[in-house]
Structure formats: structure tokens, C-alpha cells
Amino acid sequence: MKANIVLLPGDGIGPEVTAQAVRVLESIARKFGHDFVFLSKKIGGIAIDETGDALPQDTTDACKKSDAILLGAVGGPKWDDPNAKTRPEAGLLKIRKELGLFANLRPIVTFTELVDASPLKREIIEGTDILFFRELTGGLYFGPSGTEDLPDGQQRAYSTAVYTTSEVERIVRMAAEAARKRRRKLTMVDKANVLEASRLWRRTSARIMKEEFPDLEYEVVLVDSMAMHLLSRPKSFDVVVTSNMFGDILTDEASMLPGSLGMLPSASLGSNGPGLYEPIHGSAPDIAGTGIANPLATILAAAMLLRHSLSLETEAAAIETAVKKVLAQGCRTADLAPKGTPTLGTIAITDKVLESLDKV
């Protein structure tokens, strides 16, 4: 098949890890007879430096015309000035909104080989397999917000969480459909004891589940209590659905279950059009350019791209198997290796993945 893939390498380690994922995709294309055409565009800090805009129009246009998008990371200390006119993160928020990517899928899977890299106990985390659905284009991130000067010299700032019925319906539906293909359990996380917007989530989600998914086990958990349950009973969760802000926080917490942020991919999907795939780790400016960044999350994001945007399940699974084999062989990047043990750099571990792919 022919596919147009837009690359948004971004900032920090973004370009390094994206380049490695491209090597893997090129190898898949050769092996399975596909034609992947890559087009690289700017987003984030580098786009601000070159154009003054964190998401230049030309990037948006190319993304809209593509079959799928692979993103590295955005942001860094260079653009952290709180008074700056624009920030790299604005580019990411804007592309999510422009492309209608309302569902952010974040799988949290523990690799048996890496259980000891987690700060948590083996018996609690081993076997964890959670799929988060984070709502991505609404809530606190996109509601009315502002800052005003008060007569007494203070400032008053506000951000509001706004959701409509249909915004809740579509993400709950997508999450429940995924649960149906997995272990048939959906957990909805909110703060309905306090927040009005959460009460809309609670009512809407209950109705959708009752009317359309009565065959699924359905559980409702308050977000504060979820922060606790994620660490005490991670294995009891299958699919979890929640709002934008809660999902942002809970998935970072959940990322500690597998031990390293460096292994976790994510997919952002809309109802149609291209999906956007990225590692959930950030731009890691502290190690950018040193050649030690872990590319596996981006390589696994490329696998999600093949699966969700191009329907190439066999190819996606081949990448995932290759990554698992490389871990089983004992190959580790610095973020995964216990102190004092040998490590592989960004390119060397990708070489191992490619070797392993060749044997599939």
C-alpha cells in the first residue's frame, strides 16, 4: 500500500527518536512491499524560532492531507519564558484541535523483561495491561480562560472545564468499543462529587453504557481515588476513560507502572482523517544530542500508526514482537538499565530492532 506520513520531529530528543522510527518503518515497507512517503514539517519550539508560530499553516495543511502523522516531542527550557507570546505546547494543542483528535489512546503495558525497572513491586505490577482513553480536545485545556487586573493590583486568572453531551458520548463509545475487544471492562474516572462538568460525564456515560454496552462490566471511580487504585490494583483495570486534564495526570502516573516513560507510545484519533502518533515522553532537553535517548516509545508509536491509521495489523505486531525480543535479549537504553550495567544508544538499540525484524 502507498501511504503519506507526515513527520513532526519537533524539539529536544524528538528528531533523534523520530529518525529511528522512520528507519523501522522503512524496513517494514521493504519487507512487506509498501510505499511510505515521508514529509517532514515543523512544530513546537523550532517552528517558533523559524516562523514565529508553534504550528505554521503549512504544517497544518500537510497534516490534513496525510494518511498519518508521527510526532517526536515539543518544548524545552529555551521557550519556557512565562511571558512569551507563544509556547511550543500551543502547537501541539492546536494540531489536536484542528484535526479533531478527540481521543488519546495511551496503552500502559508492563513488559515482563522490564518489571524490575519499575519503582513498584513486581507482584503489584506484573501483568498490568491498561488502555487509557483520554479526551483530548475539550475540558480545562480548551474552555474559556483568561487573566484580568484587579483594582487592588492583584490579578485574577481562570480556566474552565467545559464539556457537551456529544463530546462525552463519542469518547465513551470509542472506549467501550475497545473494551469489548479486550477484557470487557470499562472504568470511567471523574470528580462528580464536586464538579458540574464531571456530573455530565457521570450521567452521559451511564446512559451510553446502559443503552449500548450492557454486556460490559462498568465501574465509576473518582479521580483522587483512582490516583491511589492505579498503584494498589493496576491489574484490575482494562479500559479507562476520562477527561482531558485527569487523563493527562493519570497517564503520567500510570507510566511509572512499566518502569520507564521511554517505552510508552500514544495515538490521538478523531472520527475520521489522519491520526497522530507520538511517544508520551517529552523532549528531554537534558539528554538531547547525546545519543542516549530511548527510541522504543516512538518505534512503538509507529506500530500504533500502522495498526490504527493504515490497518496493517501484521506489520504493527511485527514491530512489537521485535521490540520485545530485543528486550528479552537484554538490550537496554540508559533509562532502562540498572546502574552500572551496559547500555545501548539510540541508534544501536534501533539496529537491534531492525535485526530482529529481519528474522520475523
Please identify which of the residues 11, 41, 141, 238 carries the catalytic annotation.
Answer: 141
Question: Cα–Cα distance between 61 and 50 in angstroms, integer?
Answer: 18
- Our answer to whether residue 163 is catalytic in this structure is no
- Our answer to whether residue 191 is catalytic in this structure is yes
The answer to the question of residue 248 lying near ligand IPM (CB under 6 A) is yes
In the complex, minimum distance from the CB of residue 161 to Mn ion, in angstroms, rounded to a whole number: 16
Grid cell listed for 269: 484519533
Q: Which of 26, 53, 89, 320 binds ligand IPM (CB under 6 A)?
A: 89
- Among ligand IPM, Mn ion, none, the one that 92 touches (CB under a kind-dependent 5 to 8 A) is ligand IPM
The answer to whether the CB of 276 falls within 8 A of the CB of 96 is yes
The answer to the question of residue 248 lying near Mn ion (CB under 5 A) is yes
Question: Cα–Cα distance between 19 and 54 in angstroms, integer?
Answer: 21
Nearer to ligand IPM (CB atom), residue 92 or residue 99? 92
Nearer to ligand IPM (CB atom), residue 191 or residue 281? 281
Please identify which of the residues 53, 129, 248, 351 carries the catalytic annotation.
Answer: 248
The answer to whether the CB of 161 falls within 8 A of the CB of 143 is yes
Beta strands 129-135; 155-159: pairing state: unpaired
Question: Cα–Cα distance between 256 and 127 in angstroms, integer?
Answer: 14
- Which of these ranges, 6-14, 45-53, 86-94, 325-333, lies near ligand IPM under the rule CB under 6 A? 86-94
Question: Cα–Cα distance between 24 and 332 in angstroms, integer?
Answer: 18
The answer to whether the CB of 188 falls within 8 A of the CB of 221 is yes
- Which of these ranges, 87-95, 122-130, 176-184, 347-355, lies near ligand IPM under the rule CB under 6 A? 87-95
CA dist 345 → 48, 101, 119 (Å): 29, 33, 23
**Catalytic residue positions?**
141, 191, 224, 248, 252
Give contact residues for ligand IPM (rule: CB under 6 A).
75, 89, 92-93, 248
- Contact residues toward Mn ion (CB under 5 A) are 248
